[in-house]
Structure 1
Amino acid sequence: MADSFVTQSLEEIRFWSRIMKEHSLFLKLGFRCEDTQLIQEANGFYSVFEQIEAKANALPLTTDPQQIRAFNTEVCTAASHIWVYKRKILGLILTCKLPGGNNFPLLVDHVSREANYFRNRLHELNEGQLEPLPDAIIDENVFFLKIMADHAKFIGHLLDPSERKLVEQARDFSHDFDQLLFQAQDLSSMRPQSQTTPLLTQFLDQNRVSVASLRDFKKAARDLIEACRIKSIIHPLLADHVYREAERFLHLIDLFEQRLAGAPAN
C-alpha cells in the first residue's frame, strides 16, 4: 500500500504541477499590459509549480511515504493558492474590472476547477479516502467530460473564423461532449442503482470512443499549429496542453475498465 501511495502521489503531482505551471503562462498571456500585479503573480505561480514539477520528477518511487505525505501537503497548499488566484481573476472579469483582456471567463473557471481537483486528489491520497470504484468512475467522468467539452469550445473560439471546417468540427465535438456530460450527470443522479457493472462498462466504452476521437483531433490541430499550417491565435503549448489532458482521460478510462474486469487496484 505504501508503494502504491508513493507512486500515485508522484504521478498526480508530475502531471498536474505541469498543468498548473502552464495555466500560469496562459493566464499571463491573456492579461493587458497594464495588469502588472496579476502578471507578477502569474510569474510567481509559474516558478512555484516549475519547482514542484522538478522535485516530483527527481523523487524516486522508493521515497519514504512520510516524505511524500509532507510533499503532498506542500503541493496541496500551492494548489489552493493558485485556485484562490484564479477565482480572483474570474471575479475581476465578471465585474468588468479587466476590460479588453483575452481570458474567457469560462477558461478561468475551467483552470480553477482543475486546481480544485488537484488539491482534492492530494488531500484524498493523504487521508487514504479515495472513492469506491463505482463512484470514482462516475465522478471522474463527469469532471473530465466537462473539461473536454470546454476544450472543444475554446478551440472553436480561438481558431480563425476563416478556418470554417475546423471550427465546425470543434463545435460538433462541443455538442457531443455536452451530451455525454448530460448522460453522465443522469447516471450520477441514479446512484446507487445505476452502478452496475454492465451500465458502467457501457458508460466507459461510449466515452472512450468520443474521447479518442477528440484526442486525435487535438493532436492533428496541434501538429498543424506547430507547422504554421492553419490560422488561429492558439498558442502551440496550449494545443499540446489540451492534447495531454485528453490522453490523461483515456488513461483513466483504461484503468477503470481494468478494475471492472477484476484487475488489482492501482
Structure 2
Amino acid sequence: MGYMDNYERDAYGIVAFWLRSNLEHGQFFDREISHHELELARVNQSMVQNLAGIWQRAEQKQGDLTILVNESQQAISEFQNFLTLGMGKALRCQVIVSAPVALMDHMIREAEESNNVFNLMKSGGHVLVSDSVLHESSFWLRQMADHLAFVQHYLDPTNYELQDKVRGMTHKFERLFLQANALNTIVRKPRTEMLPVLNAFRQMVISETKDLEKFKLELDALIKQCAAITTAPPDLLEHLAREAHHLWRNLEEGMIS
C-alpha cells in the first residue's frame, strides 16, 4: 500500500498534522456547499487558503515555532467560528449545504481539539499516561465512529456487503466510546498508575484502530479503482486513515498530540 502516516511527530509535525486535518475539512466542506451559497463558499475558500499557507510553513519547518502555533490557533479558531455559525444557520434552514449537521459538529470538535493541543504545547505541561489514554480515547473514539457513519453516508446503498461491514464497525466503535466514557469516571484522579483494566482497554483500542486504519485504506484503494460506488470526496479515506493512525500511535506512546 502506498499510504503511510509520514508526518514527523516533533512539535512542527504535530502542528502540521492539525493544520492539515482542518485544511482538508475545509476542502471537503467546499464540495458540500450549494452553488446558491456564493458568500459561504467564498469565505470557506479564504479559510482554506489561509490554512494551506500556514500548513506549508509548518511542513517545511519554517519560522519561529511560537509564532507558528499562534498563527495556527488564530486560523483554526476563525475556521471553527465559521463552521459554528454555518451549523447554526443550517439548523435554522438558512443555508443550503449537503453536509450533515453531525459532520459540521465533527469538524468543529476537531478544531477545538487542535487548539487544546496547541495550548498544551505552549504550557509545556506534563500529562500522565493514564490521563492521556482516557483523553485520547474519549475524543478520538467518537471521531472514529463518526468517520464510519460518514463513510456509510457516502457509500451507494447497493454496496450491501460494505454497508453491512461499516455498520458493524460503527457499532463497535460506538461501544468503545461508551466504554471510554465509563472508564473516565471509574478510574478516578489522580491517575498516577496505569491500572490493568485501563491498560487492557488501551490495547484493545490500539488493535481495533489498527484494523480500522487498514479497512479505510482498503476501501480507499477500491474507490481509487472505481470499484466501489460512492460519492466520497477524493482522498477522504486517506484523511480518515491518517487520524486512525494518529490515535493508535498516541495510545502506544501515552501522549496527547
Alignment of 1:1-266 (within 5 A): 8-59=10-61, 67-99=64-96, 101-192=97-188, 195=191, 196-197=193-194, 198-256=196-254
| Alpha-carbon contact 1:159-1:231 (below 8 Å) kept | yes
| Alpha-carbon contact 2:183-2:198 (below 8 Å) kept | no
| Alpha-carbon contact 1:28-1:38 (below 8 Å) kept | no
Consecutive unaligned residues of structure 1, counting only runs of 5 or more, are 1-5, 260-264
Question: What is the distance in 2 between the residues matched to 1:136 and 1:250?
Answer: 12
Structure 1 residues 116 and 246, CA, compared in 2 at 3 Å: closer, same or farther?
Answer: same
The normalised TM-score by structure 1 is 0.88
CA displacement at 1:16 relative to structure 2 = 1.3
Alignment RMSD, CA only? 2.1
| Alpha-carbon contact 1:163-1:230 (below 8 Å) kept | yes
| Alpha-carbon contact 1:188-1:194 (below 8 Å) kept | no
Question: What is the distance in 2 between the residues matched to 1:250 and 1:131?
Answer: 17
CA displacement at 1:41 relative to structure 2 = 1.1
CA displacement at 1:194 relative to structure 2 = 9.3
| Alpha-carbon contact 1:222-1:236 (below 8 Å) kept | no
CA displacement at 1:8 relative to structure 2 = 3.6
Deviates more, 1:121-130 or 1:103-112: 121-130
The normalised TM-score by structure 2 is 0.91
| Alpha-carbon contact 1:9-1:72 (below 8 Å) kept | no
CA displacement at 1:200 relative to structure 2 = 2.4
Runs of 4+ with deviation above 4 angstroms: 193-196
Question: What is the distance in 1 between the residues matched to 2:183 and 2:170?
Answer: 20
Q: Equivalent pairs: percent with the same residue?
A: 24
Consecutive unaligned residues of structure 2, counting only runs of 5 or more, are 1-7
Letter in 2 for 1:79: I
CA displacement at 1:7 relative to structure 2 = 6.5
CA displacement at 1:130 relative to structure 2 = 4.3
CA displacement at 1:133 relative to structure 2 = 2.2
Question: What is the distance in 2 between the residues matched to 1:70 and 1:91?
Answer: 32
CA displacement at 1:236 relative to structure 2 = 2.3
Deviation digits for residues 110-132 of structure 1 (CA, Å, limit 9, x no counterpart) = 01110110011111111223432
